[in-house]
Amino acid sequence: MTALPQPEHSTAGAILRWYETSQDGGHRPHLGASIIGHSCDRHLWLTFRWAKAHRWDGRMLRLFDDGKRAEARFVQELRAIGCEVWEHDDAGQQFRVSAWFGHFGGSVDAVASGIPEAPKTPHVVEFKTSNDKLFKALSKDGVRKAKPQHFAQMQVYMGLLDLTRALYMVENKNDASIYTERVEFDPAAFDALLAKAQRIVFSTEPPPRLSDDPTYYECKWCNHFDICHGQAAPEVNCRTCAHSTPEMLGDSAWSCAKLQRAISTEQQRAGCSKHLYIPALLSRLGSPVDATEDSVTYAAPDGATFVNGPPPGFSSLEIAAARAPSMLTDTMVQQIKEDFPGAVLVSSTPRLEDMPNDIDWAPVKPAKRAVREKARVTT
């Protein structure tokens, strides 16, 4: 009997797609303590301002899930050797810390006492998993050098919880070996990290790039590369809008100067039709040369101008949808918008170069066919 043919990797593919479709929107309401140790302030600012969500593929999301599963085993193992471990506060919630009116903070994996090296000292506990290469680097150099972001994360947690020690626990995903390191609270490092977080949260414009060289290794792999070194426009939401401000009111509050009201996290995600890009976010497209309450005019590098604003200008959604920056300064496109106020630039418009070459054209008059064929050749 002939075996039924099976689509290659259909089950595995379905599992990975499930992870991908189940991931969240990719934007946190706060600047995370887990990333404050990142070497690029601009990356942190663009992340906090929701310039571009980080969408992971299914394989990476599955790896992250492995890390979550490892946490439960670490807790079980610590309790098995006689440690007291607290994963939740009195309200049954994961321990959270915050600063700068709720705009900066994070969630603590656990707090434990009875650690064999210092049984009476309570420790912040941070659980991680790693590949073999990183595990060996940790074993050789320690967390401060090998994983500075993890070191910074623990410093923030210790400082905000008023604790003086942290226990860093890492499982090698290759062979299940364990690395542990006790980390001492460094007040100077903590103060510097808090100051850094304040600078990121309340800055109205992005900080300088880590490098102006687009081939620099940290820039090449950055989620914001296309915005920072390319000409991509950021996502349209309240965080990328010139009207929005992180307030010093607590509970990570934001306000909109245009609408004269507070804006919730969900409202920030949605944005509104009044959105105007923070001008610095479009610096790769043009320089602001004029502004009104409702619009900003930009001059492209070639001197041509375009407007981010109501018709006949381009809405922020249209700027984000433009397949090429030249569309914004194209005189024909601008004339169409002038003549037809309802005309909108959309990203779903097919381009001739995207059309297959084997189209079965319906019979047309010779002249029309010639026009089509010429367009296909010259585009």
Asked which of 202, 218, 246 is the last residue of a domain, the reply is 202
The reply to whether 84 falls in a domain is yes
The answer to whether residues 167 and 263 belong to one domain is: no
**Burial tier of 251 (Cβ tally within 10 Å: 0-12, 13-18, 19+):** exposed
Q: Please give the residue range of the domain that contains residue 132.
A: 26-40+48-202
Tell me: pLDDT of 253 over 60: yes
Instruction: Give the pLDDT band (50/70/90) at residue 69.
Output: confident
The answer to whether residues 73 and 189 belong to one domain is: yes
Instruction: Give the pLDDT band (50/70/90) at residue 10.
Output: confident
Q: Given this model, what pLDDT does residue 378 score?
A: 34
Cα 127 to chain center, whole Å? 22
Asked which of 202, 222, 243 is the last residue of a domain, the reply is 202
Q: Given this model, what pLDDT does residue 369 score?
A: 39
Q: Given this model, what pLDDT does residue 79 score?
A: 98
The model carries a pTM of 0.85
- In this prediction, residues 202-211 reach a mean pLDDT of 96
The reply to whether 209 falls in a domain is no
Tell me: pLDDT of 289 over 70: yes
> Of 82 and 359, which is predicted with more confidence?
82
Q: Given this model, what pLDDT does residue 350 score?
A: 42
The answer to whether residues 135 and 239 belong to one domain is: no
CA-angle at 80, arms to 77 and 83, nearest 5°: 90
SS3 361: coil
Which residues in 34-54 are b (16+ Cβ under 10 Å) and which e?
bbbbbebbbbbbbbbbbbbee
Which residues in 332-353 are b (16+ Cβ under 10 Å) and which e?
ebbeebeeeeeeebeeeeeeee
Q: Given this model, what pLDDT does residue 346 score?
A: 81
Q: Given this model, what pLDDT does residue 262 score?
A: 97
Tell me: pLDDT of 370 over 80: no
Q: Given this model, what pLDDT does residue 8 score?
A: 55
Instruction: Give the pLDDT band (50/70/90) at residue 245.
Output: very high
Instruction: Give the pLDDT band (50/70/90) at residue 4.
Output: low
The reply to whether 85 falls in a domain is yes
Identify the CATH number of the domain in which residue 86 sits: 3.90.320.10
The answer to whether residues 272 and 193 belong to one domain is: no
Question: pLDDT per residue over 312-338, tens digit each?
Answer: 999 999 999 998 999 999 999 999 999
Asked which of 154, 184, 202 is the last residue of a domain, the reply is 202
Question: pLDDT per residue over 83-92, tens digit each?
Answer: 999 998 888 8
Q: Given this model, what pLDDT does residue 363 score?
A: 37
Residue 305 bridge partners (DSSP): 299
In 3D space, the residue among 302, 298, 348, 296 whose CA is nearest the CA of residue 322 turns out to be 348
- In this prediction, residues 287-312 reach a mean pLDDT of 96
The answer to whether residues 73 and 164 belong to one domain is: yes
Question: pLDDT per residue over 113-153, tens digit each?
Answer: 999 999 999 999 999 999 999 999 999 999 999 999 999 99
The reply to whether 4 falls in a domain is no
The reply to whether 12 falls in a domain is no
The answer to whether residues 164 and 260 belong to one domain is: no
CB 244 within 8 A of CB 265: no
- In this prediction, residues 197-202 reach a mean pLDDT of 98
The answer to whether residues 144 and 269 belong to one domain is: no
Q: Given this model, what pLDDT does residue 178 score?
A: 97
Q: How far apart are CA 226 and CA 308, in angstroms?
A: 20
Instruction: Give the pLDDT band (50/70/90) at residue 7.
Output: low
Q: Given this model, what pLDDT does residue 352 score?
A: 38
Question: pLDDT per residue over 159-185, tens digit each?
Answer: 999 999 999 999 999 999 999 999 999
The strands making up 31-32's β-sheet, listed across from edge to edge, are: 31-32, 104-107, 96-99
Q: Given this model, what pLDDT does residue 91 score?
A: 82
- In this prediction, residues 256-260 reach a mean pLDDT of 95
The reply to whether 61 falls in a domain is yes
The reply to whether 378 falls in a domain is no
β-bridge pairing 165-172 and 296-299: unpaired
Residue 353 DSSP class: G
> What's the chain's average pLDDT?
88
Q: Given this model, what pLDDT does residue 54 score?
A: 82
The answer to whether residues 60 and 180 belong to one domain is: yes
Q: Given this model, what pLDDT does residue 182 score?
A: 98
The reply to whether 341 falls in a domain is yes
Domains in the chain: how many in total? 2
The answer to whether residues 106 and 183 belong to one domain is: yes
The answer to whether residues 189 and 144 belong to one domain is: yes
The answer to whether residues 272 and 348 belong to one domain is: yes
The answer to whether residues 196 and 264 belong to one domain is: no
Q: How far apart are CA 43 and CA 375, in angstroms?
A: 41
The strands making up 123-130's β-sheet, listed across from edge to edge, are: 84-86, 110-113, 123-130, 165-172, 178-184
